[in-house]
């Protein structure tokens, strides 16, 4: 255990403390965040592409909406599965406490799912004009839907690692990264070269910015708070999550950035797709590590 406040002179050793169990939010919450990033991210990308490259994506309205719909349902299902009293979920809507990010998130995600259902219907009916109007509001709502988890993490006063401005940036970047990656896979050959280039740029820049933020926290976080220093020890040296942390950073950020450059140089779609797959899978690993490590620290 990293505890840089331990003095050799005191040699203090805990000899009796039954600390309450550590991991409170398990991998179910990782899936929750991961699926939500994809669900909101593809909506951002569809909105952007319809403005920048309408010809390329005019036939992707339904497929993209279905991917978003499925992702948001996975997100809600895993949220429900993580509750210890899932059949009381309705309490959130009846006894809502507006100081809680969970309450806000539940309402916004429900409305978001409603809009996605409407979009799917409109896309099925090929009512593109109304679809695009509803898509605007869906894309706007996708911003707080993807951000609320950052607010929730910030409300976890016990977990010093999760600071609000940083987590908000990471949530948005996770959405643009996974959204562009998913869109590259959804669009496939239907996408024009220009559209692929745009998605590659979004994916690469999201990866770059998210990587810079993680590295900044990794290097400078310990200089600000002792709890952050102690938590980051779990991903340093022979810490329990060191391998997983670096695997995530390479898969999600470093390799996709390199592969996107390579795909542009070689005009290769397969390398672009490989970058997209790596980013999508890697994001789950990155999120999982960041979720787990603050939970390993004894609170008492």
Partner 1 sequence: MQLGFLVDLHLCMGCKGCEIACKVENEVPLSTWRLRVKYVDVGTFPETRRTFTPLRCNHCENAPCERICPVSALHYLENGIVNIDKERCIGCAGCVMACPYGAIYIDPQTQTADKCTYCAHRVASSMMPACVVACPVQANIFGDLEDPTSNISKYIQVHQGGVQVRKPEKGTNPHHFYVGGGNITLNPLASHRIEGHQLFNNITTLPVGGHH
Q: How far is the CB of 242 from partner 1 (least distance, A)?
A: 19
The tokens describing 218, both together, are 């990794």
What's the CA gap between 186 and 176, in Å, rounded? 15
Q: How far is the CB of 8 from partner 1 (least distance, A)?
A: 9
Q: Are 203 and 177 in contact (CB under 8 A)?
A: yes
Query: Which member of 69, 70, 96, 273 binds partner 1 (CB under 8 A)?
Result: 96
Query: Which member of 62, 77, 103, 213 binds partner 1 (CB under 8 A)?
Result: 103
- Binding of partner 1 at residue 237 (CB under 8 A)? no
- Binding of partner 1 at residue 126 (CB under 8 A)? no
Q: How far is the CB of 15 from partner 1 (least distance, A)?
A: 5
- Binding of partner 1 at residue 11 (CB under 8 A)? yes
Q: How many other CB atoms are found less than 10 A from the CB of residue 233? A: 22
Cβ proximity to partner 1: between 89 and 215 the closer is 89
- Tell me the window of 6-14, 111-119, 175-183, 281-289 that interacts with partner 1 (CB under 8 A): 6-14
Ordered DSSP codes for 118-164: HHHHHHHTT-HHHHHHHHHHHHHHHHHHHHHHHHHHHH-TT-TT--H
The tokens describing 21, both together, are 């169990």
- Tell me the window of 90-98, 128-136, 166-174, 185-193 that interacts with partner 1 (CB under 8 A): 90-98
Q: Are 177 and 207 in contact (CB under 8 A)?
A: yes
- Binding of partner 1 at residue 238 (CB under 8 A)? no
Q: How far is the CB of 255 from partner 1 (least distance, A)?
A: 32
Q: How far is the CB of 296 from partner 1 (least distance, A)?
A: 11
Q: Are 75 and 109 in contact (CB under 8 A)?
A: yes
Q: Are 30 and 174 in contact (CB under 8 A)?
A: no
- Binding of partner 1 at residue 12 (CB under 8 A)? yes
Q: Are 252 and 290 in contact (CB under 8 A)?
A: no
- Binding of partner 1 at residue 132 (CB under 8 A)? no
Residues 6+ apart with CB under 8 A from 2: 229, 230, 231, 232, 233, 234
Residues at the contact surface with partner 1, assessed by CB under 8 A? 1, 3-7, 10-21, 23-25, 82-86, 88-89, 91-92, 95-97, 99-103, 106, 152, 155-159, 226-227, 230, 295, 297-300
């Amino acid at each position: 255990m990293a505890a840089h406040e331990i003095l050799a002179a005191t040699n203090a050793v805990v000899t009796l403390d039954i600390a309450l169990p550590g991991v409170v939010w398990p991998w179910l919450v990782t899936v929750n965040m991961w699926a939500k990033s994809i669900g909101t991210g593809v909506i951002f990308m569809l909105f952007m592409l319809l403005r920048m490259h309408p010809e390329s994506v005019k036939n992707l309205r339904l497929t993209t909406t279905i991917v978003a719909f499925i992702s948001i349902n996975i997100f809600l299902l895993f949220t429900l599965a993580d509750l210890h009293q899932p059949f009381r979920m309705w309490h959130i809507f009846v006894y809502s406490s507006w100081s809680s990010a969970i309450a806000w998130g539940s309402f916004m995600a429900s409305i978001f799912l409603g809009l996605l259902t409407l979009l799917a219907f409109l896309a099925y009916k090929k009512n593109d004009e109304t679809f695009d109007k509803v898509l605007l509001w869906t894309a706007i709502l996708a911003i707080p839907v993807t951000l609320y988890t950052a607010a929730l993490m910030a409300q976890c006063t016990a977990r010093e690692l999760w600071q609000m401005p940083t987590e908000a940036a990471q949530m948005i970047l996770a959405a643009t990264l996974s959204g562009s990656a998913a869109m590259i896979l959804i669009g496939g050959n239907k996408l024009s070269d220009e559209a692929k280039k745009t998605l590659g740029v979004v994916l690469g820049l999201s990866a770059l910015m998210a990587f810079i933020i993680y590295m900044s926290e990794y290097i400078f976080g310990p200089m600000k708070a002792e709890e952050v220093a102690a938590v980051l020890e779990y991903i340093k040296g022979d810490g329990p999550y060191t391998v997983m942390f670096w695997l995530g950073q390479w898969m999600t950020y470093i390799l996709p950035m390199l592969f996107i450059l390579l795909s542009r140089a070689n005009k290769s779609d397969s390398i672009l797709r490989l970058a997209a797959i790596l980013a999508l899978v890697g994001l789950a690993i990155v999120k999982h590590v960041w979720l787990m490590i603050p939970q390993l620290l004894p609170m008492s």
